[in-house]
Amino acid sequence: MRTLALIVRLFRSAAKIQRKRMILTVTAIAWGTVAIILLLSFGEGLKRSLETGKRGLGEDIVIIWMGETEKAYAGLPAGRPIRLLPEDVDLALASVPEIASAAGEMHKWDVQLVNGRTALNKRVVGVHPAYRDLRTSFAQAGGRYIDELDLRLKRRVVFLGDKLAKDLFGAADPVGKTLLVADSPFTVVGVLNKKRQMSMYGGPDNDRATIPLSTFEAMFGRRYLSNLVYQPTTTALGPVAKRHLMEALGAKYRFDPADTRALYFWDTIEDAKMMNAIMIGLEAFLGVIGALTLIIGGVGVANIMFAAVTHRTREIGVQMALGARRLYITGSIVLESLALTFAGGVVGIGVGVTIVQILAAVQARVKSEAMEFLGTPTISIPIAVTTVTLLGLIGLLAGYFPARRAVSVQPAEALRFE
Amino acid sequence: MFGNGGNGRNGREKQDGTDDGAIIALTGIRKVYDTGAVKVEALRKVDLEIRRNEFVAIVGPSGSGKSTLMNIIGCLDTATEGSYRLRGEEVGGMSIDRLADIRNRRIGFVFQNFNLLPQLTAFENVEMPLLFKGVPAKDRRERVETLFEQVGLADRMQHRPVELSGGQMQRVAIARALACEPDIVLADEPTGNLDSAAGSDIIGKFEELWAKGHTLVLITHDGAIARRTRRIVHVQDGTVVDDAPAA
């Protein structure tokens, strides 16, 4: 405590010199701080943007497409097509406890949708109600998604993508209105809540019509699913769920559970892991660029500290002659360097945060696809911690080396210095 | 610490000739400056003993090694060879921080160019060694005020060095040298930057201190000043050539 008070005292007595150079140094540190904050904020914004985009498809889901066996199994030859039925969804749920939720999906392209004089050929899908949560297809206020009753009664109800609803009905609220789907009248029950979808299969969710799977089967005479969507209970159990599902379906359709071609799996959990790794890499890259800029500022601090120490050699010699221990002198020099870095850091953080806020405000106003993808620059706690830690480290190092040099000479030599 | 009692005791030691009163004992001190290409032998085989309450002048032409000698006595530099005992304690081989403590508590310095820290007030300058020693604030204040009264500058405590005359600055430096009640005060050409009146005044101050029982070592090339001390040590070519009481 006494040592600290002493160091502060010596620091205060020394800090009044070289004002202009000090301002330049503080500016360099501020500049570096602004750079690192902006880069990391944009990285964070991009990361969050990608995360919401990922949620557009559905979180932690697996999608299965039908394939052909590659291996002969149980006396059956290779090359048999494997086709799943709607009841296989129930089979999956019943026999694989690691599957939390599952839904079947059937597709048909170019189905004519007619509202009055507007006719469009669009994609129609038939789904189980669980599809809503799996594929984040929530209805806008005033509407609903396909439900169990629709499925059981094979109701002629349709849920529209938001873009499609606009194309068919314009500004009017389509809920409750009648739409001709392949010449059959359907009641619109809901419109998709606008969402950002970055990955998709067969087109975006906002440009298609969704009907109950049972209705789809009856209308279009389909038996087989186009694909099956499921979600494991936890992401960690994903591989187990997949293996058990292959075993259950393999037993039913008599294919080798190790046959990778019988069914195709799109595992978005794996994708997310990969994406995460890429994002971490990107953030590290941005961080390193920012850190390098900041370190250049740190070199400036070290430079001014070396100059200050040289300038004050005699003064330091006097202090040593009067009995200052090494720690008092190094401490006051390091403190000075930390103070410079701290001042630069405060200015830099202030400017950086302001720029981020201005950019975010501009972005909220100007709607553009590219800007939306880039995301809103965001300052997070880790960014703040990284920046402050780096600043502290730079301050310490930039002070330590000049300080070490200052106390490395004999007091007699320091006193002789002119 | 060195009141009249100390003076009396010192007088006794002088009479019986024992050397347990020796504050400084240099034996075979050698100092070589190694500047890479050239090795300069600044001191060779210096033997010197200074006792309690002596008033010594070290004189010699410039380049004679007297400043090097003073640096070694003041623990501002270390000898290449030889033994230096400060109050019986071997100084050679001490750690840097230990030497700092020795300088802080045992040695007071007065420099030719005063070496006051310009951005501090006179008060703060005198306070500094007490800070290094770890004296509590209240005691520091009292001690510094006493010192300023002693050097007759009680009304100049809050002035900065630039606001003081040369003689005043040197008196502040003397106050600073005495702050931690050192065993010995080392003065390196203390009058070198002063006019003769101020210089005489400073030497008068030293005589006063000596009378109070302090041990003083003056480095000077000025014979007139040396004659006001009690013992003159002549240094030439890095060694002591003459050591005699002042006439």
Q: Give the N- to C-terminal CA distance of chain A in Å, as an integer.
A: 34
Report residue B235's pLDDT band, with 50, 70 and 90 as the boundaries.
very high
CA B143/CA B133 separation, integer angstroms: 13
Chain A residues with CB-CB distance to B104 below 8 A: 322-324
Of B96, B119, B132, the CB nearest to A322: B132
State whether B77 and A413 contact (CB < 8 Å).
yes
Q: What is the dihedral of CA A21, A27, A29, A34, to 10 degrees?
A: 180
CA distance A42 to B50: 73
Closest residue to B132, CB basis, from A16, A328, A413: A328
Select the residue from A11, A322, A326, A328 to test the B interface by mutation, using most B Cβ atoms within 10 A.
A322
User: Is A315's CB within 8 Å of B117's CB?
Assistant: yes
Same-domain check for residues A198 and A250: yes
pLDDT of residue A2: 65
CA–CA distance, A321 with B41 (Å, rounded to integer): 24
What local confidence, expressed as pLDDT, does residue B85 receive?
Answer: 93
Closest CA to B141 of B160, B163, B158: B158
Mutate one of B95, B113, B120, B174 to test the A interface: name it (highest A CB count within 10 A). Answer: B120
Based on the fold, state whether residues A41 and A177 are members of the same structural domain: no
CB contact under 8 A, B101 and A325: yes
Q: Which of A205, A234, A268 is the last residue of a domain?
A: A268
Task: Determine how many CB atoms are found less than 10 A away from the CB of residue A194.
Answer: 10
Strand order in the sheet with B89-90: B39-51, B22-34, B81-86, B89-90
Sign, CA torsion A288/A293/A298/A299 = positive
Q: Which of B43, B80, B119, B176 to mutate to test the interface with A (most CBs of A within 10 A)?
A: B119
Domains annotated on chain B, with CATH: 53-78+93-245 (3.40.50.300)
Q: What confidence score (pLDDT) does residue A18 get?
A: 63
Cβ-Cβ contacts under 8 Å for A174 (sequence gap 6 or more): A115, A160, A165, A168, A188, A191
Residue in the structure block whose two tokens are 């802080």: B104
Inter-chain touch A410–B119, beta carbons under 8 Å: no
Which of A6, A323, A413 minimises the CB distance to B100? A323
- A-B CB pairs within 8 A amount to 71
* Closest residue of chain B to A329, computed from CA coordinates: B132
Task: Specify whether A214 is located in the same domain as A363.
Answer: no
Closest chain B residue by Cα to residue A417:
B115
Chain B neighbors of A6, CB-CB under 8 A? 131-132
Pair A154, A147: CB distance under 8 Å:
no
Residues A235 and A166 in one domain: yes
Contact yes or no for A191/A179 (Cβ under 8 A): no
Cβ-defined contact of B117 to A324 (cutoff 8 Å): no
pTM of the model: 0.70
Same domain, A323 and A361: yes
Query: Which of A294, A106, A317, A115 has its CA nearest to residue A218?
Result: A106
ipTM of the complex: 0.88
Domain final residue, candidates A212, A234, A268: A268
CA distance A414 to chain B (A): 9
Name the domain count of chain A. 2
Residues A262 and A283 in one domain: no
Q: Give φ, ψ of A410 to 5 degrees.
A: -70, 145
**Cross-chain residue pair A323–B133, CB shorter than 8 Å:** yes
Structure tokens at B137: 């604030």
Residues of chain B with pLDDT > 70: what percent? 91
Q: Does B19 have pLDDT greater than 50?
A: no
Shared domain for A263 and A286, answered yes or no, is: no
Q: What pLDDT is attached to residue A128?
A: 96
pLDDT averaged per 10 residues, chain A (length 418): 70 64 84 88 85 84 93 91 94 94 95 94 96 94 95 96 94 94 95 88 91 96 95 93 94 93 92 88 88 86 86 89 91 87 90 88 74 74 85 90 89 86
Q: Which of A13, A315, A324 sits opposite B132 (nearest CB)?
A: A324
The reply to whether A112 and A27 lie within a common domain is no
Q: Are residues A219 and A152 in the same domain?
A: yes
Evaluate the CA torsion angle A217, A219, A220, A221 in order and state its sign. Answer: positive
3-state SS of chain B is CCCHHHHHHHHHHHHHCCCCCEEEEEEEEEEEEECCCCEEEEEEEEEEEEECCCEEEEECCCCCCHHHHHHHHCCCCCCCEEEEEECCEECCCCCHHHHHHHHHHHEEEECCCCCCCCCCCHHHHHHHHHHHHCCCHHHHHHHHHHHHHHCCCHHHCCCCHHHCCHHHHHHHHHHHHHCCCCCEEEEECCCCCCCHHHHHHHHHHHHHHHHCCCCEEEEECCHHHHCCCCEEEEEECCEEEEEEECC
Taking the alpha carbons at both ends of chain B, their separation in whole angstroms is 29
Across the interface, whether the CB atoms of B100 and A6 are under 8 A apart is answered no
Could you tell me if A107 and A237 lie in one domain? yes
Please judge whether A324 and B124 are an interchain contact, meaning their C-beta atoms are less than 8 angstroms apart.
no
Residues of B in contact with A318 (CB under 8 A): 115, 117
Write a three-state SS string for chain A: CHHHHHHHHHHHHHCCCCHHHHHHHHHHHHHHHHHHHHHHHHHHHHHHHHHHHHHHHCCCCEEEEECECCCCECCECCCCECCCCCHHHHHHHHHCCCEEEEEEEEEEEEEEEEECCEEEEEEEEEECCCHHHHCCCCECCCCCCCCHHHHHHCCCEEEECHHHHHHHHCCCCCCCCEEEECCEEEEEEEEECCCCCCCCCCCCHHHEEEEEHHHHHHHHCCCCCCEEEEEECCHHHHHHHHHHHHHHHHHHHCCCCCCCCCEEEEEHHHHHHHHHHHHHHHHHHHHHHHHHHHHHHHHHHHHHHHHHHHHCHHHHHHHHHCCCCHHHHHHHHHHHHHHHHHHHHHHHHHHHHHHHHHHHHHHHHCCCHHHHHHCCCCCCHHHHHHHHHHHHHHHHHHHHHHHHHHCCCCHHHHHHCC
Same-domain check for residues A43 and A72: no
Q: Given this model, what pLDDT does residue A229 score?
A: 96
- Chain A: residues touching B (Cβ < 8 Å): 2, 6, 9, 13-14, 16-17, 314-315, 317-328, 407, 410-413, 415
**Two structure tokens written together for B48:** 């010197």
Average pLDDT for chain B: 87
pLDDT at A371: 67
Boundary (domain end) residue, out of A268, A302, A335: A268
Whether the per-residue pLDDT at B20 is higher than 70: the answer is: no
Asked if residue A287 and residue A187 are part of one domain, the reply reads: no
- A320–B103 C-beta distance less than 8 A: yes
Q: pLDDT tens digits, residue range B103-137?
A: 999 999 999 999 998 888 999 999 999 999 999 99
Rounded Cα distance between A15 and A4, Å, is 16
Domain that holds residue A393: 2-55+273-416
Token pair recorded at residue B101: 């403590």
Best B94, B96, B176 member to test A by mutation, with max A CBs in 10 Å, is B96
